[in-house]
Structure 1
Amino acid sequence: MKSSAHLRRRKWMVFRLVPFTAMAMLAGGCQQNKSMAAESSEKNAPSAVSNVRQVKATSVPQWEQMLMHNSGWLGADGIYCVALNGVEKSGQATASTETFLWFSDTIIGDIKGDSLQADWQMVHNSVGYLQGSTPDPKKIKFHWRKDEKGKAASMFEPHTPKAQPGDYYWLGDGFFNHQKDSTIYILAYRIKSLPGGVYPFEDVGVSLIAVPKGSRPPFTNHRQMDTPLFFKDSNGKGKVVFGVAVLANTVGAKAPKPDGYIYVYGVRGDKKELLVARVQDKAFEDFSQWRYWDGSSWGTDVHKAAALTSRVSNEMGVSFMEDGRVLASYQLDTNSPTVAIQTGQTPAGPFQPAKKIFETPEVYEDLDFYTYNAKAHPHLSKPGELLISYNVNSFDFIADIHKHPHHLRPRFISVKY
């Protein structure tokens, strides 16, 4: 028989061994659980790439559908717009906001079934008014003029000293000028027809259209003037056209860091180089006050203007981000499936490399379809996002407007930044 002392030693040894063994087993189990948890975590964890939000745009079909109509105004390209309170800050539009929109080539007529009726007409520009901040076909009204015979006519037709018979306007960007009695200014490209060729037209000048406060269609009291904003570059870099985008850096526009200047952007040559000019809002009509960014300072010689970037489009947008930087939005090389954006530190840059944010699917819907001239509409955008439109057209226009009578309409995308 074992002595009590011996039994106590065995109990102590068992007591010491059991906790040690249990602790070892527990530790081993914990280590195994940690290993399994780590393995499971590695399997279930998203990749580093998926943790980074992709800067990509998504389609916003509601805005496109707002522009789908079967009678009267059927479609157009070249869409620009301003809020009639002059506020361009992202997310500022409300149910009471009225937006003035202007378009370039516009189809007027009727569609029955899916067939464009034979009496359709095309005018070179039209306008519209949207009530509210959301796309609603019932809250947008379109306008165009009628001639003395009652036929559809362009809302604005050239009548400046340099205008020639047969010239017409496509409408560039514009802005609401708080310092000039709420006048809305629109830069208008003066175009003449050139029969034959893939693109049967040529731009020959830039005019300035001034729409007085409170003026409504047919704008009988609007003014037009020739400008020096169209010319051939003296350094052999090609044609220069200003008016592709306008940025109001003013208190009235609710810019984040207002300096009182209006920045007007231009495109130069086949490389589609982006240039910028600026002028105080109160001196907008005085072209002797305009200054051009030469890469280091604002000078008077437009021929020394520096390229901010290149491969932009003939119509585009430049808008503010909340932190004071700017976003340029455009169709890469004017006519392509690619919509791109670039971030600039200031309205005159420097700009980061372009980001391709969207590929337009419409180019694959028909052999002759092409997309072009993307641009942003900041005041209709949601905070932290940018609403961007792009145009759809056809190289075989007459045939396709009958086969696809709704195709000549802007499409819309939105990008979060």
Structure 2
Amino acid sequence: MKNTRAIAAGVAVASVLAGALLAAPASATTSAGHGSGGCSLTDKTLTATASVNESLTEQFTTYADTGGEWTGGDSTYSMPLRGGKTGWFFSDSFLGTVNPDGSRPSDSAFVNNSVVVQDAHGLSTITGGTADDPAAIIPPEENGRWYWIGDPAAGPRNTVQVPLLQFERTGPGSFDFQWTANRLATLDGRSLQLQSIIDLPSATGINWGSWTLEEGRYTYIYGIADPDGVRSSYVARVSTHAGLGDTWKFWDGSDWVSSEAAAVPVVPYVANEFSVAKFRDGYLLVTQDTSELFSTRIVARTSCSPVGPFTEPVELYRTPETGLAGSYGDADVFTYNAHEHPQLRKGNQLLVTYNVNTFDNVGDVYDDASIYRPRFVDVELKLSR
């Protein structure tokens, strides 16, 4: 199984990518619309100007090409770690080396999740297993079911808690797999090695863990499902003090209730992974637009509440890699799962990442190692009436 997380993010006819999906200028101005009460943010007009974050791009490119550890991955969540470090949490990850011509060896090690730790000395990779036989930090089960990660959060007693999506294969093809359950991994806060896994609510088919937002007494957990074919977000919450393993309550549109089946969608056309963070006196949601197939658009919405209502989307950036007209000139290449890293925000300047992959997961990802890596973008927001 290679890169199936990316395939899951864009299951559709790959030939759509051959169309003229052109990269637009990296700036846009549009009205954020009007939300209901409680803050001024939703009454503002957002202006977004974006550019590649050259520092992180160079650091990760150099490390992937020469570090001899991590050479590519997706998801690209991040969180502060002890000692002023930042942990970059990845799902499907390639390990090993990159050839001098930029290709990836065909026998490169592949694990379903890893962490790249950034500190004052540079980058280093944490996995499970051993140096000679690396494994995912949260390894597959004996029955072959594997885990892709959600947005990690600080847990009780100096731990890191990681929402998990469990999948299983249903056949030999690239698309032959299905989600089976939501679970929660607890990692040691220092070593980031696995301590335990417990079950999370899974009765409705909502994939929980797209994002976690700590806000005072509560931590909000966002998930996705596809009511009427529209990828939409749902919200649960737990006590911040108790952590993600505490009793979950679900937003039913007017109150927090115990029944997962009562949860209602709060915003449409989100990606499998997105972000919701405090911004000014409201909240800012950043996501890849899923109202169109293989969209190049990264958009933002605002709200006065973590559960919405959210305003109409504002375009922040268009990814230049996608499709035959993109920077790779490859109809198989696509981008997905954009979100912000709020702890790395500088004033109104956001750091946004997105992932790049290809439907040719037996050729392109080995021929050109640069494809299967995150991209880093600075987005400057301006607000006016």
Q: Same fold by TM-score, threshold 0.5 exceeded?
A: yes
Residues 1:304 and 2:270 aligned together: no
Deviations, residues 366-386 of structure 1 (Å, cap 9, x unaligned):
110011111111112212121
Q: Equivalent residue for 1:145?
A: 128
Counterpart secondary structure, 1:66:
helix
Q: Equivalent residue for 1:167?
A: 145
Residues 1:395 and 2:359 aligned together: yes
Residues 1:241 and 2:207 aligned together: yes
Higher strand share: 2
Q: Equivalent residue for 2:203?
A: 231
Residues 1:262 and 2:219 aligned together: yes
Q: Equivalent residue for 1:55?
A: 48
Q: Which runs of 5+ in 1 are unaligned?
A: 1-47, 86-95, 133-137, 233-238, 251-259
Query: 1:124 aligned to 63, 87, 112, which one?
Result: 112
CA separation in 2, counterparts of 1:150 and 1:140?
20
Q: Equivalent residue for 2:287?
A: 330
Query: 1:192 aligned to 168, 183, 186, which one?
Result: 168
Shift of 1:200: 4.0
Higher helix share: 1
CA separation in 1, counterparts of 2:78 and 2:288?
18
Residues 1:314 and 2:272 aligned together: yes
Distance 1:195 1:358, change over 3 A: farther
Query: 1:413 aligned to 377, 380, 385, which one?
Result: 377
Q: Equivalent residue for 1:157?
A: 139
Aligned length: 325
Contact residue 162 and residue 185 of structure 2 kept, 8 A = yes
Distance 1:223 1:53, change over 3 A: closer
Query: 1:83 aligned to 42, 64, 80, which one?
Result: 80
Determine which structure has greater relative contact order: mean sequence separation of CA pairs < 8 Å that are 6+ residues apart, divided by chain length: 2
Q: Equivalent residue for 1:236?
A: none
Contact residue 175 and residue 186 of structure 1 kept, 8 A = yes
- What is the percentage of aligned positions where both structures have the same residue? 27
Contact residue 128 and residue 141 of structure 1 kept, 8 A = yes
Contact residue 292 and residue 305 of structure 1 kept, 8 A = yes
CA separation in 2, counterparts of 1:285 and 1:357?
31
CA separation in 2, counterparts of 1:286 and 1:125?
21
Larger radius of gyration: 1
Counterpart secondary structure, 1:362:
coil
Query: 1:108 aligned to 95, 99, 105, which one?
Result: 95
Shift of 1:56: 3.6
Residues 1:183 and 2:159 aligned together: yes
Residues 1:361 and 2:354 aligned together: no
Residues 1:374 and 2:338 aligned together: yes
Contact residue 296 and residue 319 of structure 2 kept, 8 A = yes
Shift of 1:99: 1.1
Contact residue 175 and residue 185 of structure 1 kept, 8 A = yes
Shift of 1:97: 2.1
One-letter code of the match for 1:224?
I
Residues 1:350 and 2:309 aligned together: yes
Shift of 1:401: 1.6
TM-score normalised to the size of structure 2? 0.78
Contact residue 231 and residue 241 of structure 1 kept, 8 A = no
One-letter code of the match for 1:131?
D
Counterpart secondary structure, 1:65:
helix
Contact residue 335 and residue 373 of structure 1 kept, 8 A = no
Q: Equivalent residue for 2:252?
A: 294
CA separation in 1, counterparts of 2:196 and 2:46?
47
Shift of 1:414: 2.0
Shift of 1:121: 2.0
Counterpart secondary structure, 1:142:
strand
Deviations, residues 47-104 of structure 1 (Å, cap 9, x unaligned):
x99xx8732432223222222222221111111111125xxxxxxxxxx621122111
Shift of 1:196: 4.9
One-letter code of the match for 2:122?
K
Counterpart secondary structure, 2:237:
strand
Q: Equivalent residue for 2:239?
A: 280
Shift of 1:197: 4.9
CA separation in 2, counterparts of 1:268 and 1:200?
19
One-letter code of the match for 1:108?
L
Shift of 1:331: 1.1
Deviations, residues 120-140 of structure 1 (Å, cap 9, x unaligned):
1211111121115xxxxx511
TM-score normalised to the size of structure 1? 0.73
Counterpart secondary structure, 2:206:
strand
CA separation in 2, counterparts of 1:141 and 1:328?
30
One-letter code of the match for 1:293?
W
Query: 1:73 aligned to 70, 74, 83, which one?
Result: 70
Query: 1:209 aligned to 172, 185, 188, which one?
Result: 185
Distance 1:203 1:109, change over 3 A: same
Distance 1:165 1:196, change over 3 A: closer
Higher mean C-alpha displacement, 398-407 vs 56-65: 56-65
Contact residue 244 and residue 315 of structure 1 kept, 8 A = yes
Q: Which runs of 5+ in 2 are unaligned?
A: 1-28, 31-44
